[in-house]
């Protein structure tokens, strides 16, 4: 087995174990493979193993990478999936929105009204509906990105009223700390806001995802209700 296949198997076993501990179905959690530290050859291996949800946080890399992978898939090798789906997981500047919209399946990192409006406006021009998550800053520390907890519900409501945009849930990043209780607290807070928004009903039935959990904390995230994991270094490093 290749090193990457081996690591993916390890990750999947950990996901299964965490789901069992939490009394959840394994298929209630999906995996976005974060490619920012991977070479194209490594990404080919992942795709060949059947993983089609890929995440990037570097705008400049996204387009060339997506083109490269499309060319790889165009050979129509029977063992390969037909296509992959790209997730924008990093900070998105408004002036980059136009170029990422045609490539992206889901934007995880919407955190201001202005960015949401830019996405909605450009989606309208392209006559598409863009799927997004609202990124919430759930850690006590002063992280740069993510809407503050106290403003999250209001922004979610504003986003739900925008045409050409569909709010599918929330995304959060745990604080950079070794303190597992702090990490868990951030995930719990994200889930509370998530439940609160669901209760308010303005988001409708599409609102069902919590994107949280990276290489160092995905098992805790699963225990606290994550539905989308974003994992890179545990697979590629
Ligand atoms: C890099 C990154 C990840 C993946 O982190 P790993 O520790 O490599 O698993 C997840 N989410 C975001 C927003 C990232 O930038």
Distance 62 CA to ligand 1 centre (A): 15
Predicted confidence at residue 1, as pLDDT, reads 73
Task: Say if ligand 1 is within 6 A of residue 90 CB.
Answer: yes
Asked if the model's pLDDT at residue 75 lies above 90, the reply is no
Distance 22 CA to ligand 1 centre (A): 23
Q: What is the pLDDT of residues 95-150, one digit of tens each?
A: 999 999 999 999 999 999 999 999 999 999 999 999 999 999 998 776 779 999 99
For the chain, how many structural domains are there in total? 1
Measured CA distances, 160 to 117, 168, 204 (Å): 11, 10, 9
Predicted confidence at residue 102, as pLDDT, reads 95
Q: What is the pLDDT of residues 179-190, one digit of tens each?
A: 999 999 999 999
User: Which atom of ligand 1 is closest in space to residue 218's alpha carbon?
Assistant: 9
* Mutation pick for ligand 1 pocket among 230, 231, 235 (CB with most ligand atoms within 8 Å): 230
Distance 232 CA to ligand 1 centre (A): 6
Task: Say if ligand 1 is within 6 A of residue 145 CB.
Answer: no
Q: Which of 60, 37, 63, 50 is nearest to 8 (CA)?
A: 50
Predicted confidence at residue 143, as pLDDT, reads 73
Q: What domain range includes position 114?
A: 3-236
User: Residues of 127-137 as b/e, b for ≥16 C-beta within 10 angstroms?
Assistant: eeebbbbbbbb
CATH code assigned at 122: 3.20.20.10
User: Taking all residues of the chain, what is their mean pLDDT, rounded to a whole number?
Assistant: 96
């Amino acid at each position: 087995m290749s090193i990457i296949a081996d690591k993916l198997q390890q990750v999947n076993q950990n996901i299964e174990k965490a789901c069992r501990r939490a009394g959840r179905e394994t298929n209630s959690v999906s995996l976005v493979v974060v490619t920012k530290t991977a070479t194209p050859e490594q990404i080919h291996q992942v795709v060949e193993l059947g993983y089609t949800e890929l995440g990037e946080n570097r705008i400049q890399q996204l387009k060339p990478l997506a083109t490269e992978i499309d060319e790889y898939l165009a050979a129509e090798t029977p063992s390969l999936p037909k296509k992959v789906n790209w997730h924008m997981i990093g900070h998105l500047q408004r002036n980059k929105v136009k170029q990422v919209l045609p490539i992206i399946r889901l934007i995880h990192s919407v955190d201001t009204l202005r960015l949401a409006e830019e996405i909605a406006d450009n989606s309208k021009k392209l006559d598409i509906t863009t799927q997004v998550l609202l990124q919430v800053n759930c850690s006590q520390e002063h992280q740069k990105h993510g809407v503050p907890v106290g403003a999250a519900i209001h922004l979610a409501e504003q986003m739900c009223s925008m045409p050409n945009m569909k709010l599918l849930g929330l995304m959060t990043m745990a604080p950079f700390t070794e303190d597992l209780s702090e990490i868990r607290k951030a995930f719990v807070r994200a889930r509370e806001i998530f439940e609160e928004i669901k209760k308010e009903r303005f988001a409708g039935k599409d609102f069902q995802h919590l994107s949280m959990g990276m290489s160092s904390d995905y098992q805790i995230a699963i225990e606290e209700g994550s539905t989308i994991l974003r994992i890179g270094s545990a697979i590629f490093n």
